[in-house]
Amino acid sequence: MADKRKSLIKIKPKKYKDGEVVKVSFMVMHPMDTGMGKNKKTKKIIPAKYIDSVKFFYNGKEITNMKVWESLSVNPVFTTYMKINGKGKLTVKYTDNTGEAHEKTKKIKPKG
């Protein structure tokens, strides 16, 4: 599992209660090459390299599953909502078309 790409999970608001619906965003540094761009210096086509699947897990249970195609922007952001249901872990896993995989975990600690 390659861990070289930087990624970040953000939860809004920062202080949340049990049972609240919060905004979760996952950001990852990824080139998202479509296979149609050219390197301006060497005039060669940049091979396709894009994220093809992103999954959100909450305590091991899959919440959101995304099938991604190549027309997302460079360094994509995935924002969705999630219902807080007790203490636990939020894990985001992605894979890309060249077989690169990555995962990021954030602890969920509801207050009150």
Partner 1 sequence: MQRRDFFKKLGTAAAVTAVIPAMSFADDAKPVSPNKMDFQTAVNAITGGKTPKPSKKVKLKVPEIAENGAVVPVTVEVDSPMTQSNYVKAIHILSGKNSNARCIDVFLTPANGKAMFATRIKLGGTQNVTALVELSDGEFLTASQSVKVTIGGCG
Binding footprint of partner 1 on the chain (CB under 8 A): 21, 25, 32, 34-38, 43-45, 48, 58, 61-74, 76-83, 85, 97
Tokens of 6: 């930087």
Q: To the nearest whole angstrom, how small is the minimum distance from the Cβ of residue 92 to partner 1?
A: 14
β 51-58/77-83 pair status: unpaired
Angle at 29 between CA 47 and CA 77, to 5 degrees: 105
Q: To the nearest whole angstrom, how small is the minimum distance from the Cβ of residue 111 to partner 1?
A: 18
Q: To the nearest whole angstrom, how small is the minimum distance from the Cβ of residue 96 to partner 1?
A: 12
Tokens of 94: 């992605």
For partner 1, give the closer residue by CB, 3 or 86. Answer: 86
Dist. CA 72–CA 24, nearest whole Å:
18
For partner 1, give the closer residue by CB, 1 or 39. Answer: 39
Adjacent-strand bridge partners of 56: 64, 92
For partner 1, give the closer residue by CB, 25 or 105. Answer: 25
